[in-house]
Amino acid sequence: MINIQIYNVSHLSTNCCYLVDEASGKSAVVDPGDKSEDLVSQIEKDGGKLEYVMLTHGHYDHISYARELADKFGAKIITGEKNIEFLRKPEFNLSIYHGKALPEFSADILLKDGDTFMLGETEIKYISTPGHTSGCGVYIFDNTILSGDTLFCESYGRTDLPTGDNSAMIASLKRLKEIDGDFKVIPGHGELTTLEHERKYNPLMSRL
């Protein structure tokens, strides 16, 4: 079982999630789009057992503090295999268009669709969900989906940015809709929701 704390970071109000496995105390941070002193303090308070920095996709408002945070605590950066270029190229991660100087970096672990890994005693599954970008993916564990910029509360990620694809977004939302059961959904921005709510009220997902 994983405990979750959400830190609102970056000028785009990214939901940066701090995950702590109850059994082991090992932790991970998802989508650190900017530095949060409160988050760093909490990791240190918890013993600095940061195992992973997990990225849902490669836009600057989700990755800008990833390398520095990973280096600070000796953690590994983990993301989908199609995000390599996003971590290297400012025109892909959009930092160049927002006055951000984001040095290129690389991930330590690249995930394929359907891969799983362990955070302490909890298994986390990665599902590739292209659409917002070609490298978007979600993380699923316990009764929770960290949906990044794929699925929002009664909305979904825009598809008009580099590598965005509307047809791919439709396929990704259909795939999420067909997951058995209900889940708490924590999007990359905005309010939390549930998968069942989105099945009923999401303007695109409800029609699939």
Q: What is the CATH topology of the domain spanning 2-207? A: Metallo-beta-lactamase; Chain A (3.60.15)
Residue 98 predicted with pLDDT over 90: no
Residue 86 predicted with pLDDT over 90: yes
For residue 56, give the DSSP letter: S
pTM: predicted TM-score of the whole model, two decimal places = 0.97
Q: Which contacts of 111-119 are long-range, i.e. CB under 8 A and separated by 24 or more positions?
A: 111/78, 111/79, 111/80, 111/81, 111/137, 112/80, 112/81, 113/80, 113/137, 117/52, 117/78, 119/2, 119/19, 119/21, 119/26, 119/27, 119/28, 119/51, 119/52
Residue 101 predicted with pLDDT over 90: no
**For residue 20, what are the β-bridge partners?**
3, 27
Evaluated on CA atoms 42, 46, 50, 55, the torsion sign reads negative
Question: Tell me: the pLDDT tens digits for 153-206?
Answer: 999 999 999 999 999 999 999 999 999 999 999 999 999 999 999 999 999 999
> Which of 80, 18, 186, 180 has the alpha carbon at shortest distance from 196?
180
Residue 105 CB burial class (10 angstroms; 0-12, 13-18, ≥19): middle
The span from the CA of 204 to the CA of 208, in Å, is: 7
Supply the pLDDT for residue 68. 97
Helix, strand or coil for residue 122? strand
Percent of the chain topping pLDDT 90? 96
Residue 125 predicted with pLDDT over 90: yes
Supply the pLDDT for residue 151. 98
The span from the CA of 8 to the CA of 196, in Å, is: 25
